[in-house]
Structure 1
Amino acid sequence: MGASLTVIGAGLAGCEAALQAANLGVRVDVYDLKPQTMTPAHSNPNYAELVCSNSLRGAGRESAVGLLKDELRRLGSYLMDVADRTAVPAGGALAVDRELFAAEVTAALRRHSRITCHSQRICSLDEIGGPRIVATGPLTGEELYADLQQRLGQGSLYYFDAVAPLVAADSLDMDELYFASRYGKGGGKDYLNAYLSREEYYDFVRMLTEGERVIRRDFEPGEIFEGCVPIEEIARRGPESLRYGPLKPTGLRDPRTGRRPFACVQLRRDDRQAETYNLVGFQTNLTFTAQREIFGKIPGLRRAKFIRYGVMHRNTYIDSARILNAALQWKDNPEIFFAGQIAGLEGYVEAIAGGLLAGVNAAAMISGERMMTPSPRSILGGLVRAITTPVTDPQPVQSNWGLQIPFRTARQDPRRDLSRTESAEEITPWREMLQSRRRRVLLATH
């Protein structure tokens, strides 16, 4: 196998793609800014940094993203394996120790005999020839994105995303916080809860709507991805919005009263040592000063030490439906693949899924083998179908039951066994194909 593969970007998609291709016998060069250069949104010199939450969302197969995780595990996803091994308690979700996760993924790339890592900014696709995977993520550099716009013939597609703050556990007042998970899921100490009275809640909403913002203008519809709306923007939609969103009290009981609290702020462990906590759903565009003042009004957080403040950033992506085929290849240049969030796959697990597919297919193209194009009977295939089907207003896509074909009505609950059976039937032959190819590479190596 003479040709090598270049992966541009070492986020979730790029790392998964590199490991997939390398374990299918391809020599891989990975280019990333890190560790020499960091963007304002990054704080960890390792690859595969989880910039926003440390949660990969629902763990069980009763959710679409949970079923996608199951599909990725069956296909041999390397990052899903690391996520499972670095998991922290999070009720019904899969959350990870973000530092340990990034460190383990980085180590896997750097010790792999067929992967070479380069700390170098790529500003144009002309800088590197041959088979390439563009996995630069939503924070793609301006120079490279301008180069892509010129080549792809598209205008700027973007949305705003935000990050939630992290606080030090030893700065929290544990007399005002309570361990509990919604409906008793998990081990009982998966989340810390700050319960708000009616008066505290409405004062908090008022402070959020009046707080000073970094980006001070009002946002247009569609500019903010609905999965990461800043908490102050949710508050601006109406005084009750937060009680039906990130501050919902459902599934919880206030031990002081024995009743459901009026509202609840949840903090999720961010590492295995429980030294850092993430404010769940608190993505924000507030200034650092406003965050200290407003979030400090939450019971238990009055003396909180912020390890990381919430920030907002602009994310870019391409019009995949016009540009890519079902193998995630550029239609006009089959040597180039796109993977992850730059291709319009929104979310950590979805980015890993795109990386797996692009890595497998780039390796297949190099070796002259069949590419993997799962059908929408699986969530993975449904995601690819969603981003490669032409629409008038291309938007990023997350896992949902509407992606799986045939679509079922609410009366025919898609979360039941039928969806899982169809997913397994679709994924099994691809899993067997990949297992056979990996075994062949191992035998040839030894």
Structure 2
Amino acid sequence: MLKAQNSLGIIFFPAFDWAISPTHPERQERLLYTQDQLREEGLFDIEGIGEYKPDVAAIEDLERVHFLFPDGGSVTTRSHRISAGGAMKAADLVMTGERERAFAMVRPPGHHAMKVVHGSRGFCTVNIEAVMIEHIRETYGHKRVAIIDTDCHHGDGSQDVYWHDPETLFISIHQDGRTLYPGSGFPQELGGPGAMGRTLNIPLPPNTSDEGFLMAMERVVMPILDDFKPDIIINSAGQDNHFSDPITNMNFSARGYAALNEMLRPDIAVLEGGYSIQGALPYINLGICLAMAGVDFSHIREPNYNPEQVRQSSRTTEYIEELCSQLPRLYFDPPAFKSGKDTSQGILSGDTFVRHRQIFYDTDGINEVQQENLTVCPKCRGLLKIETRADSGPLCLGVEIPIDACPECRSKGYQLVEEGQLKGNYRYIQLINRLDKEYVRFGF
């Protein structure tokens, strides 16, 4: 009888009652075929591997992370909260020591959900990894966290949530944003003024195969992780880099995904994208599970896999080699954020960092405009203020007092909320006070 070297908990949630449309790629069959495959292969007969049910995240769990407008109940469904709760369950299994590793196979996905949420974009409404991470920090204390996002699409939502957090390392390996949604994820996107280098993007060219992905892992990701020394490693485990995926242009294999996880050794994996429902996901998920459990995965082989047909070109290899030679220095020696220099990433003026942004919620057809202001503080990570409006809707205000807030930033945060209430400029105001674990909202 096989035995897992690392005990593994697997959380399933197919979300039977949630779909964008009956034929949309992001539908319940994404997990149903996987569930059948894992049982047929006898995965749960391996000693040390067990299946668990998800928890249900409370609105407060979401409000630790997101400014939700008009409110959490309006923009999320129970399925979103169970998907986030499945990720939280995975975290609890690992943090309590019940399992050494955990894989949350849940949907809807989350890595395109940004700090502010007015609706769904990129099939995502709630950033389930971020909800999980902040649940860990709220429940188990301070942790340095590394998120390695291996979805084919840039994890722009996770990047946005942790743009100003020096204790969270976010690395996204994805198809070059010049060729795929959401059109972002370039090397110059490095984080806010207090967290430069804590965001790192690895945009790979179309038709990259196992060789290119594993090269980026070995030459860029692993040396940076060795230096950052996270307490927890999370794989934001999108699977749409597969050669058979219908909406992307990459050539990764199921065995390549398993090899990536064997190298990464994540504590927790959370399912993101992946839309080759029969030809890829059952085999990728099986490979990831075996790799996380420390069980041989060399027999994994999906239908229609021909290594020669999906091999990357020599030109692609040369491009990735050059990329891998240049990217590490952006983490180890990031450029200084210069005061007064207005860039696409924002402008630093005195002790205030400002970003003006336009965000399109492609799933719901919503246009958002927002202004983000961060107080750059020498004593803490700074007070965050976001003014936001969706389409022709009302102006809303979000204020976040950080988890390490100094007395000045804490006091200024309350002052911003009180001024917003008195002046009546905002239809909705939400306060996230991580220091005192206070999450409140006001509507007028």
TM-score when normalising by structure 1: 0.27
TM-score (norm 2): 0.27
Structure richer in strand, relative to its length: 2
**Which of 1 and 2 has higher RCO (CA within 8 Å, sep 6+)?**
1
Structure number with the higher helix fraction is: 1
